[in-house]
Every structure is written in C-alpha cells, then in structure tokens.
Amino acid sequence: MTYISNITRPEKDPKVLSTGPSSLAAVDRLGRALGWFSIGLGLAELLAPRPITRALGVQGREDLVRAYGAREIGSGLLSLSLERKAGLWSRVAGNGLDIATLLSAYRPNNPKRDNVRLALLMVIGVSVLDIVGAQGTTIRHARRQDTWRNYRDRSGFPQGLTKARGVAASRSAEKPEKSAMA
C-alpha cells in the first residue's frame, strides 16, 4: 500500500517512508486471507468446472459448480469489504452446502470416492478456519450494548444552558461573512 500511495503522489509531495502500527489484528488478517481464498476458489469453479467434476466423479453437474463459484466470489467480496462479518458467516453457511453436496457424491459406486473424501476433509478444515475467523471478527468488532457512558454533564455551555439559548441570535449569524470578505 505504501508503494502505491507513493507512486500516486505528485512529484514534490512528501513520500511515506515508514508506516506506524496497523489496527489489523490476527483475526482481521485471517478474514482477509479467507476472502482472497474465496475469490480464487470461486474463479476456479466458475471458469473451470469440468476438471473439478471429473476429479470428484460427478460429471454433468458443471452448472452447480459454476453456481457455487459465483457464491464463493460473492462471499469473498463481502469478506474483503466493511461487511467482513457477513462475508465470513456466509462462507460458513456455504461450506455447509459444500459438505452436503460432497456427501451426496461420497457413494460406494463412485470411482473417485477417495478424491471426494479428500475434498471433504479440506472443506471441513477450511470451515474450522472460517468459524474461527467469523467468530473472532464478530467479537472484535462488537459494540457492548450493556455498558455506555452517560455524558449528560457535558453541555458545552460554560455559562449554562439557559444563558446559552439564543445568545447568538441577537447578532446575525451571517455577519462574519462581511469581515471575512473584507
């Protein structure tokens, strides 16, 4: 980012030499990594569904794989946006769908049964990461509803509210324009 920021700056502008600490926690980085992974996987499913169906022994279900690819890309974009929480939870839900679909392909008569088992293990592994990421993101960015500070003692009027009411109304608020423009 520093590099991009520097090349977009005009020639005589100061350059960024080093940056301070990031506000991203490990869970934010995990969320971002899962977002990119989701986009990568989604593109593969969308653009090359045939090798995937062949590897899993479910030829003829290319349209379903393409649809799952579109879903993955949507979740990935969400996970990289401000709505990361929604994106990661949508990945968790999507993983459930993937697992259900893979289980339906895990039949004794499927010659690629071993590949399906491997795919199932991978999806379960990524699901664990997704749940950790989604839960961590939810907790880290949550606002505690039960405790809030009461600022009723902060009127901002040193002489009190009663005296403040309309104190500027007697002089036109537009007046300063004249002095500023003079």
Partner 1 sequence: MSNASAATSRSARPPIATSTWLRRFSVTQRRAFGYTHLTGGYPGGQAEYVRVPFADATHIKVPDSLTDEQVLFLGDIFPTGWQAAAQCEIEPTDTVAVWGCGPVGQMTIRSAILLGAKQVVAIDYLPERLSMAEAAGAITINFEEESVIERLNQLTSGKGPEKCIDAIGLESHVTFSKPDTIYDRAKQMFMLESDRPHVLREMIYVCRPAGVISIPGVYGGLVDKIPMGVAMNKGLTFRMGQTHVNRWTDDLLRRIENGEIDPSFVITHTVGLEKGPEMYKVFRDKQDSCVKVVLKP
We find the least distance from the C-beta atom of residue 76 to partner 1, in angstroms, to be 12
- Options 31-39, 52-60, 120-128, 139-147: segment touching partner 1 (CB under 8 A): 139-147
With binding defined as CB under 8 A, does residue 2 bind partner 1? Answer: no
With binding defined as CB under 8 A, does residue 151 bind partner 1? Answer: yes
**Residue the block writes with tokens 């005009």:** 10
With binding defined as CB under 8 A, does residue 18 bind partner 1? Answer: no
Q: Which of 4, 7, 47, 180 binds partner 1 (CB under 8 A)?
A: 180
With binding defined as CB under 8 A, does residue 117 bind partner 1? Answer: no
Which string of DSSP letters, residue by residue, matches the chain? Answer: -HHHHHHHS-TTSPPP------S--HHHHHHHHHHHHHHHHHHHHHH-HHHHHHHHT-TT-HHHHHHHHHHHHHHHHHHHSTTHHHHHHHHHHHHHHHHHHHHHH--TT-TTHHHHHHHHHHHHHHHHHHHHHHHHHHHHTPPPSS-----TT--S-TT-HHHHTTTTTSS-TTTHHHHHH-
CA quadruple 51, 57, 58, 63: dihedral, nearest 10:
0
Q: Which of 50, 78, 135, 136 binds partner 1 (CB under 8 A)?
A: 78
With binding defined as CB under 8 A, does residue 6 bind partner 1? Answer: no
- The count of residues in the chain is 182
Comparing CB distances to partner 1, the nearer of 111 and 156 is: 156
We find the least distance from the C-beta atom of residue 165 to partner 1, in angstroms, to be 6
Q: Which of 50, 54, 117, 141 binds partner 1 (CB under 8 A)?
A: 141
Q: Which of 81, 107, 121, 124 binds partner 1 (CB under 8 A)?
A: 81
Chain residues in the site for partner 1 (CB under 8 A): 10, 13-14, 20-23, 77-78, 81, 83, 141-144, 148-159, 161, 164-169, 173-177, 179-181
